[in-house]
Chain A
Amino acid sequence: MDAGIRRHDAGIAEESIIRTLGMTRYIVQRLLLLPFLLLVYSFVIFAIIHAPPGDFLTAYVATLSATGTSISIDQINALRHEYGLDQPFIIQYLYWVRDLLHGNFGLSLEYQRPNADLIKEQLGLTMALAAMAFVLTWLIAVPAGIYSATHQRSAIDHVLTVINYVGVATPNFMLALILMWIAFAYFGISITGLFSSAFADAPWSMARVVDLLEHIWLPAVVLAIAGTARLTRIMRANLLDELNKPYVVTARAKGMREWRLVWRYPVRLALNPLISTIGWYLPQLFSGSLIVATVMNLPNIGPLLLRALVNQDMYLAGGILLIYSFLTIVGTLLSDIALVMMDPRIRMET
């Protein structure tokens, strides 16, 4: 053995310690970046919600006059002062951030209730819906993609490909509309909402949970379909790439059972890039549920945001946007970490 190799040997043990340290440092670095990112987002979000000409009161006055009620200029100015809407942009922003740091999301101008309460009421169900759609997506897409790739050009592969193309091409809300229309026109049932009317405002109980489970699966399926189609296509393409790699031949030459070697080697590698996008996918699903939730009239922060935007209820809109951003950043962070843990090549570089 030559000297170079021996020198390399001595290095292995130390390097692995440094590498483990590097991994922790990487995560800490990313975590430290998080508040900074949130600050940047909060500014951008505030700029956007502040952008429309006029403010909530202008919109409020417009609604009032449409219903025939009028309100005096003095009253409006008093209200404007009370809400701080007459302050310069930057002052309003600083007040907002200060309140946010105290966990205060402000008061909804429209509902006259704390924004935090409004959001909290819907957040749990929103996340439950997204999580369910997410689980459905992966449960269907990964096996379907593997089957398609390992049985390339088989009848089922062709069928799956057609379904995938149509699934990707159908906007979420179209799918929701079509399903609702079929259910209503042919079965006479209305499938909106997450609860039947008896449970809509009832306190949580076992029966309410059961009722929720009876209703949540349909919006979850609607949400999952487009994602499933996309994920199946990516999984199939990734796996087809991996199946052509020499290490698959090596594994076959070992005499491994085909399905076992496929699961152990190429599937593992084909999954890596998918896992790295989980963090993007989850918030996407979360904000994607916005449109479906609006169409299907689900208790979800999506429709809440939509209403707040239309009515210029700016602090409510800002709070919801900030929560969306927070979830997106955390999601990206989690998937980066997951990727680093999954792939030793990246794990040892960082």
Chain B
Amino acid sequence: MSDVQVAVGAAVEDRVAVASNWKLVWWRFRRHHLALVSAGILICMYLVVLCPEFFSTQNPERTDARQAFIPVQTLHFFDDGWNPWVPGIAGKRNPVTLRMEWTTDPQRKVRVQFFTAGEPYRVLGLFGTNIHVIGAADPGQRIFLLGSDRLGRDQWSRIMRGTQTSMTVGLVAVTLSVIFGVVLGGISGYFGGAIDLVIQRLIELLQSVPTIPIWLALSAALPRDWTPIQVFFAITVILSLIGWTTLAREVRGRFLALREEDFVLAARLAGCSRMRIILRHMVPTFMSHIIATSSLAIPVMIINETSLSFLGLGIRPPAISWGVLLQEAQNIQTLALAPWLLIPGLIVIVAVLAFNLVGDGLRDASDPYSH
């Protein structure tokens, strides 16, 4: 039994014998269809991160009290052939509650165009344009693909901006964690001794901290008058403050194991410098593993950011993140009236799910002993 498996893992065909590690990882990853689909979703999300304005239909900050709580205008593509449209909106004030009650009217079709001209914006601060991927054919008309909130802001466009913030927080926080984790874990594992002891105690101390309360306390300690950008970076640092410990432990463990490996001894006997042994011989052997671990850490960061912002202690308005958007859904009465305010939450779930699936796929693919 074990004989057979080892043989299978060793080489499928001759080309396997000469394939680089990354190629092997890719071949194994390709077999996880769900992970592939998830990777596609994540790529789309990061396209939104690069330029949310391109995907928005209007300015996410534009308020209009007369257009509050407009329901989702479902996008239709066909109407006697290719002719995209959304149903029109008709409002009536409820005589008892005095609220506007909206109904969609499929008879009144609002024409929609792809790659249409709209508000001008700059792409990555490089050049200006006014092309949006989707928008109303009549520039004066507002369309609400995912409804509007209590201030009449377009949720679709706000989600695009929120995606940019939340996905970036996750990525930056994990990058910081990885840097901390790899450097400190590497030092701890490679040098051992007193340094190892100090770093290990520090990690233990940080890991036995009650995370959520401490996060809240730290976020609450941020000055009220900071700019959204400052708050954004502070929150990111706070999130990565705890995240690096797990990674550092893992890196340390790998270093300890690798230090004893024959190929490291061989490199040392061949006269390689310490730095070269670490960078050329040791790091590449667990690089793919680190990538898998970090892609599993991003969703945790995203959930934490969303929770903090939801409680009002994370990203603060006017900045928009998924958590900020979900603050609108805090009131159950409002939610019963406008259930579409939960859509940002669904986006969170999809993003986290996609990251987890990709991370699991990568982890399986990066394990050289899997089969």
B220 within 8 A of A: yes
Task: Select which of A165, A305, A309 is within 8 A of B357 by beta carbon.
Answer: A165
B279 within 8 A of A: no
B345: chain A residues within 8 A (beta carbon)? 171, 174, 177-178
User: In whole Å, how far is B192's beta carbon from the nearest beta carbon of chain A?
Assistant: 19
B330: chain A residues within 8 A (beta carbon)? 177, 295
Chain A positions 31-70 with a Cβ under 8 Å from a chain B Cβ: 37, 40-41, 45, 48-49, 51-53
User: In whole Å, how far is B143's beta carbon from the nearest beta carbon of chain A?
Assistant: 25
B206-242 interface mask toward A, CB cutoff 8 Å, 1 = contact, 0 = none?
0111111110111011110000000000000000000
How many of chain A's residues touch chain B, expressed as a range? 35 or more
Task: Select which of A168, A181, A295 is within 8 A of B356 by beta carbon.
Answer: A168
A170 within 8 A of B: yes
B253 within 8 A of A: no
Are B210 and A324 in contact (CB-based, < 8 A)?
yes
Chain B positions 345-371 with a Cβ under 8 Å from a chain A Cβ: 345, 348-350, 352-353, 356-357
Are B356 and A165 in contact (CB-based, < 8 A)?
yes
User: In whole Å, how far is B229's beta carbon from the nearest beta carbon of chain A?
Assistant: 19
| Bound: A320/B212 CA distance, A | 12
Are A169 and B217 in contact (CB-based, < 8 A)?
no
A300 within 8 A of B: no
A310 within 8 A of B: yes
A177: chain B residues within 8 A (beta carbon)? 326, 329-330, 335, 342, 345
Task: Select which of A192, A309, A329 is within 8 A of B217 by beta carbon.
Answer: A309
What does DSSP make chain A's interface, helix, strand, loop or mixed?
A: helix
B44 within 8 A of A: no
User: In whole Å, how far is A337's beta carbon from the nearest beta carbon of chain B?
Assistant: 15
| Chain A residue at smallest Cβ distance from B350 | A169
A190 within 8 A of B: yes
Are B217 and A321 in contact (CB-based, < 8 A)?
yes
Task: Select which of B212, B312, B336, B356 is within 8 A of A288 by beta carbon.
Answer: B212
| Chain B residue at smallest Cβ distance from A301 | B213
B207: chain A residues within 8 A (beta carbon)? 280
Are B217 and A317 in contact (CB-based, < 8 A)?
yes
A172 within 8 A of B: yes
How many of chain B's residues touch chain A, expressed as a range? 35 or more
B67 within 8 A of A: no
A148 within 8 A of B: no
B307 within 8 A of A: yes
User: In whole Å, how far is B150's beta carbon from the nearest beta carbon of chain A?
Assistant: 16
B117 within 8 A of A: no
B277 within 8 A of A: no
B299 within 8 A of A: yes
Are B352 and A169 in contact (CB-based, < 8 A)?
yes
| Chain B residue at smallest Cβ distance from A324 | B210
Are A327 and B348 in contact (CB-based, < 8 A)?
no
Are A325 and B335 in contact (CB-based, < 8 A)?
no
Are B223 and A291 in contact (CB-based, < 8 A)?
no
A180 within 8 A of B: yes
Task: Select which of A171, A284, A332 is within 8 A of B211 by beta carbon.
Answer: A284
B313 within 8 A of A: yes
| Chain B residue at smallest Cβ distance from A53 | B223
A283 within 8 A of B: yes
A263 within 8 A of B: no
A172: chain B residues within 8 A (beta carbon)? 307
A321 and B205 in contact (CB under 8 A), knowing A169-B349, A310-B220? Answer: no
Chain A positions 320-350 with a Cβ under 8 Å from a chain B Cβ: 320-321, 324-325, 327-329, 332
A48 and B214 in contact (CB under 8 A), knowing A40-B205, A169-B299? Answer: yes
B342: chain A residues within 8 A (beta carbon)? 174, 177-178, 181
Task: Select which of A52, A170, A190, A287 is within 8 A of B210 by beta carbon.
Answer: A287
Are B303 and A171 in contact (CB-based, < 8 A)?
yes
B126 within 8 A of A: no
B310 within 8 A of A: yes
A144 within 8 A of B: no
| Bound: A45/B276 CA distance, A | 42
A171 and B217 in contact (CB under 8 A), knowing A180-B332, A184-B332? Answer: no
Are B307 and A320 in contact (CB-based, < 8 A)?
no
Are A328 and B311 in contact (CB-based, < 8 A)?
no
B310: chain A residues within 8 A (beta carbon)? 171, 173, 291
A173: chain B residues within 8 A (beta carbon)? 307, 310, 326
| Bound: A305/B99 CA distance, A | 36
Chain B positions 175-214 with a Cβ under 8 Å from a chain A Cβ: 205, 207-214
Are A309 and B353 in contact (CB-based, < 8 A)?
no
With a 10 A CB-CB cut-off, give which of A190, A295, A320 has the most chain B CB atoms. Answer: A295
B356: chain A residues within 8 A (beta carbon)? 165, 168-169
| Bound: A271/B348 CA distance, A | 31
Chain A positions 85-103 with a Cβ under 8 Å from a chain B Cβ: none
A178-192 interface mask toward B, CB cutoff 8 Å, 1 = contact, 0 = none?
101100110000101
A137 within 8 A of B: no
User: In whole Å, how far is A29's beta carbon from the nearest beta carbon of chain B?
Assistant: 14
A294 within 8 A of B: yes
Are B306 and A48 in contact (CB-based, < 8 A)?
no
Are B332 and A190 in contact (CB-based, < 8 A)?
yes
Chain A positions 271-298 with a Cβ under 8 Å from a chain B Cβ: 280, 283-284, 286-288, 290-291, 294-295
A212 within 8 A of B: no
A166 within 8 A of B: yes
7 interchain residue pairs of minimum CB distance: A324-B210, A309-B220, A169-B352, A51-B221, A169-B353, A185-B336, A287-B212
Return 26 A-B CB contacts under 8 Å, by A number.
A37-B208, A41-B209, A48-B217, A49-B217, A51-B221, A52-B223, A169-B353, A169-B356, A177-B329, A177-B342, A180-B335, A184-B332, A184-B333, A184-B335, A185-B335, A185-B339, A284-B210, A287-B213, A290-B212, A290-B216, A305-B216, A306-B216, A306-B311, A310-B220, A317-B217, A321-B217
A53-B223, A172-B307 given. 18 additional CB < 8 A pairs?
Answer: A48-B214, A48-B218, A49-B217, A49-B221, A51-B221, A52-B222, A165-B353, A170-B352, A174-B326, A174-B345, A177-B345, A178-B342, A181-B332, A184-B333, A185-B335, A284-B211, A305-B213, A317-B217
